[in-house]
A and B are shown apart, each in its own frame.
Chain A
């Protein structure tokens, strides 16, 4: 390589982050040391992300004081794009600005350890980043044309809103698992806090979806396969048979009148699409319906079909499902007259099977009704879910009001832990429900015992009065935890979108980037991001539509430029065989890359027998320089980590989950870029142990991880130092910190023993 002349002018900028970093890490001392030991300028700011902070960096670049920037602050997942945007404006290549994470990976997770340990780690992280920065090259992102079509998964209120908002300017494909649109909302009676009827406000929107020329709608449809890459997905849809052609059916009802088995029906009067369907579990295929249908719409031989669509963006709006409360054995669900709030709503909604009458199992009106909140929510015993389901406090009061409205002298009790009525008009609603004469008991229900006469004994503790009690009711309504619907993980995995430990989709940033996900072309809205009410679902649907519109409006998608470069090739074809995405081909006996098909996983790097392939800006040389500088500061445990697992480490930071300060993360696009060359270098420079942690759910990668691990273990054996591989999904931050602690203590102890032994044996041998 030619000598660099003149040398790079690297500027290091450290952020106090209020006191978040500054109170734990001694930034002044670090700045002093850095200036002394390596040739960099160092600047400390209170809030680097503020306009004043950014302006400082921008000025330094514009005045020519620095031409490369290393920032020590919060996670790059938060502000890297902001800072790189600024760098670009100031006139340097955005890739020449990097963030090293001294908040989530230092001040927030080691504040219980000694100051020396935290400061030493922070110094090491920054020195490593500076050393790598010195060797980075300027790169320009690749561009790929976007497909201007969006797939909305889920036809509830969030999906409907997203689709309608988008359809003004973009083509939309909306798919729904059920035979009709409307999701859970169409199964609601009245909506809080205004008590307007759910179907009255929703039906016009469902019809608008059906009639919109820019929206193609499929019911009874699910995603069965996803291929391609962000901005250019090819999605296979699976359509279950309805046995009646939606486009032909005029819902005249002739078929239903003819059917001897009640097997052909309209799901409910206002259903969209307005089309009959057949329940094959009841149908005897007598063919009477097919014969009578004036439009020839019935097709009893219909089979499951698939179709493939190509889309540039995806909105996941698959909503929630209520937890099955039968696991709470002491509540004896299901039993006659013990129902969930969803079943209660159903009875009074457009979908009602009782003619919108509230009734017990015997058909009579319940005179004493109990609502039991938090059935499966706010449960830290490990049996239920930890989260609060948010809407139950208000909807149970709404349901209580409905009971009182139907029968003034009916008695209604609400058993609650805390009454949470935060939100506009909700406290007033709470007050109003009390005025109606509803009984509130603060305490968890211990047991619900069905009697022989259909009544229910509810045993509870009243924590306000400090006594236990028992009451007999006619009907008990359990308010179940709202959980992510079955299949959320499979769907999210297909699009490479991580979930939180509660199973809901993880947003790109918990507060600041709410409907975006870590996949730049995939967005989410509604309850699949956590339980919420209609108002909030609509807000998110609108936001998702806006984000998607903004995304599609660029026409092109920028692809990270950290791709393989082929420096030397002997035409052996190993890399072509290894590439899981068919991004490499052999042309004139030389490997050639199609950058748009490449995901940058780096599997091709270690398989090249002549070390002729490197990932740009993650070359062996650059990684080694980073390792040398980092470990030169102090020995530690080197953890190579991919972006998905890196997000888990960030969550650990946000939760202030402490782990060993020996841990030094090295961010890599995927652990598969590593070979023994880099790992041995880590050991050589003083790593006491090496971990490979990946969080990707891409099976094309994870299926090869074991082999990679075995190979590395074999090839690094001479150092007799521990190496470990682990798969940690983004949600599993607690597993991550446990693992880091166990490994660090083992590796640390081993290094100590070894150090002692060597010291005893070879005190006279001078250091190299």
Chain B
């Protein structure tokens, strides 16, 4: 299995832990991710001009070399998907192709890494690579952009793919009704009060389930829930202490990879207790 790989900016910055775990895990899953050359920003959330916004993603999609394009980030994925839908409009694709130096034929399929593992590889294949069933409880958190407005692999209202993946690793996925609620990440800079309030709701509900960790699929969610967890605790005077880990890190732990290889030492909320529990 081979994909052209669009890492997104976080992979080379704040989400180095995510990156390490992806490299380690995907190599062992036998999935080749070929990073595309000279990629650009996906536009994140706020590009007001539609043509520019679509063109940013079109330029990326044009570099796929005929492969499906995998991305680890919910924001990147959402933008690629939306651009892909918008580009069904032939007038727009002509306009966009004038703006970018390369020519996009409109035929690249964007895929989130979660979809690659759950749908393309399949959970039965994943289970074969599990060396150590983890015997913990985890909160599946999809974030708001992965499944909405819609994608090709899961329900927008009650997605289950991450729940099933967690289950396949020997982990109990807890019932979590906030699985697609916004973490507040996108408005962290513009309105910190609201952003931290949203993160608090997620974290308090997650804590209440008695889970050992929260599993995420997006570097932006991770930043908000992990790096800002202390700020949430201080602002609302609560003690949370909830490790936030990437789904690839969870797969890595089940493959019995060392925490260092998976970047678990790079988190702000300590993962020691979790690693200790898993180690037993």
CB contact under 8 A between A449 and B209, given known A329-B155, A329-B158: no
Cα separation A451 to B178 with both chains bound (whole Å): 10
Mostly, the A contact residues are mixed
**Are A452 and B208 within 8 A (Cβ)?**
yes
**Are A449 and B155 within 8 A (Cβ)?**
no
CB distance from B135 to the nearest CB of A (A): 22
Give per-residue flags for A440-461: 1 if the beta carbon is below 8 A from chain B beta carbons, else 0. 0000000001111000000000
**Are B157 and A452 within 8 A (Cβ)?**
no
B175 to chain A: which residues have CB within 8 Å?
450
CB-nearest residue of chain A to B159: A329
For residues 414 through 466 of chain A, which have their beta carbon under 8 Å from a beta carbon of chain B?
449-452
B45 to chain A: which residues have CB within 8 Å?
none
CB distance from A284 to the nearest CB of B (A): 33
**Are B157 and A330 within 8 A (Cβ)?**
yes
B205 to chain A: which residues have CB within 8 Å?
451-452
For residues 330 through 345 of chain A, which have their beta carbon under 8 Å from a beta carbon of chain B?
330, 332
Give per-residue flags for A309-349: 1 if the beta carbon is below 8 A from chain B beta carbons, else 0. 00000000000000000000110100000000000000000
**Are A450 and B157 within 8 A (Cβ)?**
no
CB distance from B70 to the nearest CB of A (A): 27
CB contact under 8 A between A332 and B155, given known A452-B205, A452-B208, A452-B209: no
16 contacts between A and B (CB under 8 A): A329-B155, A329-B157, A329-B158, A330-B157, A330-B158, A332-B158, A332-B177, A449-B177, A449-B178, A450-B175, A450-B177, A451-B205, A451-B208, A452-B205, A452-B208, A452-B209
Q: How many inter-chain contacts with C-beta < 8 Å in the A-B complex?
A: 16
Range of interface residues on A (Cβ < 8 Å)? under 10
Cα separation A450 to B178 with both chains bound (whole Å): 10
| With A329-B155, A329-B158, A450-B177 already in contact, 13 other A-B pairs whose C-beta atoms are closer than 8 Å | A329-B157, A330-B157, A330-B158, A332-B158, A332-B177, A449-B177, A449-B178, A450-B175, A451-B205, A451-B208, A452-B205, A452-B208, A452-B209
Cα separation A28 to B267 with both chains bound (whole Å): 88
B177 to chain A: which residues have CB within 8 Å?
332, 449-450
Cα separation A549 to B165 with both chains bound (whole Å): 63
B208 to chain A: which residues have CB within 8 Å?
451-452
CB-nearest residue of chain B to A456: B177
CB distance from A455 to the nearest CB of B (A): 12
Give per-residue flags for A519-558: 1 if the beta carbon is below 8 A from chain B beta carbons, else 0. 0000000000000000000000000000000000000000
B158 to chain A: which residues have CB within 8 Å?
329-330, 332
CB distance from B175 to the nearest CB of A (A): 8
A451 to chain B: which residues have CB within 8 Å?
205, 208
A449 to chain B: which residues have CB within 8 Å?
177-178
Cα separation A329 to B158 with both chains bound (whole Å): 6
B209 to chain A: which residues have CB within 8 Å?
452
CB-nearest residue of chain B to A452: B208
Cα separation A449 to B202 with both chains bound (whole Å): 12
For residues 162 through 193 of chain B, which have their beta carbon under 8 Å from a beta carbon of chain A?
175, 177-178
Cα separation A330 to B208 with both chains bound (whole Å): 20
Cα separation A451 to B157 with both chains bound (whole Å): 17
CB distance from A456 to the nearest CB of B (A): 10
CB-nearest residue of chain A to B158: A329
CB distance from A331 to the nearest CB of B (A): 9
CB distance from B164 to the nearest CB of A (A): 16
Cα separation A452 to B178 with both chains bound (whole Å): 12
CB distance from A87 to the nearest CB of B (A): 60
Give per-residue flags for B25-50: 1 if the beta carbon is below 8 A from chain A beta carbons, else 0. 00000000000000000000000000
CB distance from A223 to the nearest CB of B (A): 37
A329 to chain B: which residues have CB within 8 Å?
155, 157-158
CB distance from A325 to the nearest CB of B (A): 13
A330 to chain B: which residues have CB within 8 Å?
157-158
CB distance from B238 to the nearest CB of A (A): 14
Give per-residue flags for B189-208: 1 if the beta carbon is below 8 A from chain A beta carbons, else 0. 00000000000000001001
Cα separation A450 to B158 with both chains bound (whole Å): 14
Interface centre among B157, B177, B209 (most CB of A within 10 A): B177
Cα separation A330 to B178 with both chains bound (whole Å): 11
A332 to chain B: which residues have CB within 8 Å?
158, 177
B155 to chain A: which residues have CB within 8 Å?
329
Cα separation A450 to B174 with both chains bound (whole Å): 13
CB distance from B177 to the nearest CB of A (A): 4
Cα separation A330 to B156 with both chains bound (whole Å): 10
**8 tightest A-B contacts by CB?**
A329-B157, A452-B208, A329-B158, A449-B177, A330-B157, A450-B177, A329-B155, A332-B177
Cα separation A452 to B208 with both chains bound (whole Å): 6
CB distance from B231 to the nearest CB of A (A): 23
CB distance from B78 to the nearest CB of A (A): 20
Cα separation A441 to B208 with both chains bound (whole Å): 31
CB-nearest residue of chain B to A328: B157
Cα separation A80 to B63 with both chains bound (whole Å): 70
Cα separation A330 to B205 with both chains bound (whole Å): 17
CB distance from B204 to the nearest CB of A (A): 9
A450 to chain B: which residues have CB within 8 Å?
175, 177
CB distance from B235 to the nearest CB of A (A): 21
CB-nearest residue of chain A to B155: A329
